[in-house]
Chain A
């Protein structure tokens, strides 16, 4: 059983640029969620995807967008990067309705300069 894999592991971008982060969900999981974790804080929910549609969104602006593909993998896109977007971005997968919580990936560390 493979876990959740994310790429890239680290990324440095310039303010105003766009970035795409990728996630492959754990085998057997059909739901993918994205979280942003700023340094020293708990993860904050960005959004969740189920059946290739957004299924809930946290308090993040529209420049944060995502996709889920038929194989349940997912992308997080962030446009017009700001310095405050610097954070660890965590992808988490789960099986909807199972109630066992998430399996988290190792994260992508994004630095905006």
Chain B
């Protein structure tokens, strides 16, 4: 079974600082997705990464995918309080029907 690990699990950072969340997975896949979840809410799609070397950016967030290293990163630039949420990566095991989610990274941005 495909395993997906995120680190850190909890992240507390000050506004204006930069940080990176890591997502490692155990089986070959070239499809990786990042989602955001606010407390008690559903999952909001952030990025879709579909090939080795893919890089996507939206505002203060940038995601990348290295399929050879089985690693994706979510980089936060100059954090603001509105980014406080839990972030999940999810890997499609090339079956087309099942995503394997990481454990999530709970991000708190402190003013």
A interface residues, Cβ below 8 angstroms from B = 31, 33, 35, 40-45, 48, 50, 55-56, 58, 90, 92, 96-97, 99-107
> Which residues of chain A are near B98, meaning CB under 8 Å?
33, 45, 48, 56, 58
Interface presence of B96 (CB below 8 A): yes
Question: Most chain-A Cβ atoms within 10 A of its Cβ — which of B42, B98, B103?
Answer: B42
A-B contacts, CB under 8 A, total:
63
> Which residues of chain B are near A43, meaning CB under 8 Å?
43, 88, 90, 99, 101
A64 → B minimal CB distance (Å): 15
Q: List 7 A-B contacts (CB under 8 A).
A: A33-B98, A42-B103, A50-B97, A56-B98, A90-B43, A99-B50, A104-B44
A90 engages B102 (CB within 8 Å): no
Interface presence of B45 (CB below 8 A): yes
